[in-house]
Amino acid sequence: MKKLAITAIILASMAIAGEVFIFATRKEKDEQEKIHTRAIRAGYHIYAPTLPDTLTLAGERVPMNLYYVRESLDRELVSNMYYQSSTLFIIKRATRVFPTIERILKEEGVPQDMKYLCVIESGLQNATSPAGAQGYWQFMKSTGQKYGLEINDEVDQRNDLEASTRAACRFLKELRRRLGGWAEAAAAYNCGEAGLNKRRDKQQQRSYYELYLNSETQRYVYRLLAMKLILQHPQDYGFHVRRCDTYPELPYTEVKLTGRNVDLCQFAIDNGTTYKLLRTMNPWLTTDTLKNKEGKTYTVRIPTQKGTEYNTIVKGKHDTSIIESI
């Protein structure tokens, strides 16, 4: 009996000690979680974007009085605000790509807002879609050829920024003329003119903002508008990018490329550059040998003598001011 009593006392003591330990551990854990929560609240902030009361696309009014327009735009602003790496690279690339696009839009009589269509199509780079769309403006082969781009086994002008931008201008102007508005032209650029007209006729609505469309096209124009707002006011959406952090335009000279069965590796060396830089600055070339059976003359860009050195191409390399608008 004495041994049983002692055993009972020991077990009870262990149980009490265990309860005390568990209580102490739980109390310590609770305190740590409180500290962690306070740290999050103090140092980590996620903000909802501010939506403008009035907004235009290419000079045309966006009906911001409609709740579903505001909520659709809000969705794309949040998505691109917090997809920071992608949007940051777009801001960096814009300083290199936008000057060319803006010049051509002006020459072709297309509103400057349509440069943001290029942003949402490709992120301002030569991209390839699963469906086979290619380049800055994501042309399918047949559409690109229809609007004047040379596309074959050796040359693909969908990857030429100047040529593809002019083709996009021709396409967009035609869509706008037929559909009556730039929002509708942008939507048709995404889903096709026939597809958009079919939905407009069926629903008896003409405005993009009043149509029920497939998910991608339903978001398309709002994504364009969101990128317009972010790039025009990057600091308002949390992007503080120094001018010296952006990518500059690359200096180059132009050289004529003629003849048949041209070895482009040797051509690059003969012109004081490398095949890598030749292809980088002329991404519309797709092979290392240009057969050129038709005997055409092409204009290629060759980097200037010091056009690849950081200190010579970045004029604002010491400009640490924060970009206010792109």
Judge residue 57's burial from the number of C-beta atoms within 10 Å of its C-beta, 0-12 exposed, 13-18 middle, 19 or more buried: buried
> Tokens 């490709």 map to which residue?
122
Structure tokens at 156: 């693909």
Q: How far apart are CA 278 and CA 216, in angstroms?
A: 36
Q: How far apart are CA 64 and CA 52, in angstroms?
A: 8
Please tell me the predicted confidence (pLDDT) of residue 11: 54
Whether 114 contacts 58, CB under 8 Å: yes
Closest CA to 326 of 238, 243, 224, 223: 243
Q: Which amino acid is at 56?
A: T
Dihedral angle, C-alpha 112, 114, 119, 124, nearest 10 °: -60
β-strand pairing of 127-128 with 60-61: unpaired
Please tell me the predicted confidence (pLDDT) of residue 33: 83
Q: Length of the chain in residues, anyone?
A: 326
The Cα-based distances of 226 to 196, 249, 256, 281 in angstroms read: 22, 25, 41, 30
Q: How far apart are CA 253 and CA 93, in angstroms?
A: 21
pLDDT-flagged residues of the chain (< 70): 1-25, 305-317
What kind and span of H or E run contains 302?
strand 298-303
Whether 108 contacts 147, CB under 8 Å: no
What kind and span of H or E run contains 254?
strand 252-257
Please tell me the predicted confidence (pLDDT) of residue 16: 58
Q: How far apart are CA 174 and CA 108, in angstroms?
A: 12
pLDDT digits (tens, 9 = 90+) for 265-310: 999 999 999 999 999 999 999 999 999 999 999 999 999 865 566 6
Q: How far is CA 126 from the centre of its chain?
A: 11
Coil/strand/helix, residue 141: helix
> Tokens 């794309």 map to which residue?
76
Please tell me the predicted confidence (pLDDT) of residue 28: 75
Q: How far apart are CA 258 and CA 243, in angstroms?
A: 39
Whether 217 contacts 190, CB under 8 Å: yes
